[in-house]
């Protein structure tokens, strides 16, 4: 079974993300859920992004990166939207990474000083008309990353929702989220 470090999105460590972590635990995986927002959870994406801006996006990412310090190197890094930043950075730069799952966001590997490590499998999920994932170029970065990775998969779902995998938000898409969860469980079982 895998040991997973799960990073929350801009609305914080919501009940939906905690339920997702519990689903992975039920499958036998160990899941760590650090809180980069010091207990703050926001009702809207705009409120959460305002908090991240005020705190500093770099500081939010560093809090996530520091969460790995006390954990073993052999982790799968899983990030939701804003949480992709520490997940992707750690998967690329921390020796021992077993894999990465990036949901609804992706940045070019060059953002973290190089190329995607050949030994680190990656799985990326997003909606084809999500204004952030598709509209801001993350989908293009995801395509490039998957080409670069020796073991990379990109799954694109029909729809225009952001944070569609969080069951506690109004943007939740149960059908797409179930497929995402099945694919992630398959990835972790490898």
Quote the pLDDT of residue 113: 85
Taking the C-alpha atoms of residue 21 and residue 17, their distance in angstroms, rounded to an integer, is 6
- For residues 66 and 34, what is the distance between their CA atoms, to the nearest angstrom? 10
Q: Which pLDDT belongs to residue 143?
A: 97
Tokens of 150: 């020796």
Instruction: Give, in order, the Cα–Cα distances in Å from 84 to each of 26, 92, 102, 175.
Output: 23, 12, 6, 22
Residue whose tokens read 């997973």? 4
Residues in the chain: 190
Residue-level pLDDT, tens digit, the chain, 190 residues: 999 999 999 999 999 999 999 999 999 999 999 999 999 999 999 999 999 999 999 999 999 999 999 999 999 999 999 999 999 999 999 999 999 999 999 999 999 988 999 899 999 999 999 999 999 999 999 999 999 999 999 999 999 999 999 999 999 999 999 999 999 999 999 8
Give the chain's domains with CATH numbers.
3-189 (3.40.50.1820)
Spatial neighbors of 170 by CB under 8 A, at least 6 apart, are none
């Amino acid at each position: 079974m895998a040991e997973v470090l799960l990073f929350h999105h801009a609305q914080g460590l919501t009940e939906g993300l905690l339920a997702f972590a519990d689903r992975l635990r039920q499958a036998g995986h160990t899941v760590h859920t650090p809180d980069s927002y010091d207990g703050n959870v926001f009702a809207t994406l705009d409120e959460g992004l305002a908090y991240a801006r005020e705190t500093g996006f770099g500081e939010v990412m560093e809090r996530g990166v520091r969460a790995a310090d006390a954990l073993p190197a052999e982790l799968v890094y899983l990030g939701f939207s804003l949480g992709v930043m520490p997940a992707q950075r750690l998967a690329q730069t921390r020796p021992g990474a077993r894999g990465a799952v990036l949901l609804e966001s992706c940045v070019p590997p060059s953002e973290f000083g190089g190329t995607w490590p050949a030994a680190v499998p990656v799985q990326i999920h997003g909606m084809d008309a999500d204004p952030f994932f598709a509209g801001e170029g993350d989908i293009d970065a995801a395509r490039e990353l998957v080409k670069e990775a020796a073991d990379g998969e990109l799954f694109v779902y029909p729809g225009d929702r952001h944070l569609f995998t969080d069951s506690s938000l109004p943007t939740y898409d149960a059908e797409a989220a179930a497929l995402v969860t099945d694919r992630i469980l398959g990835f972790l079982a490898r």
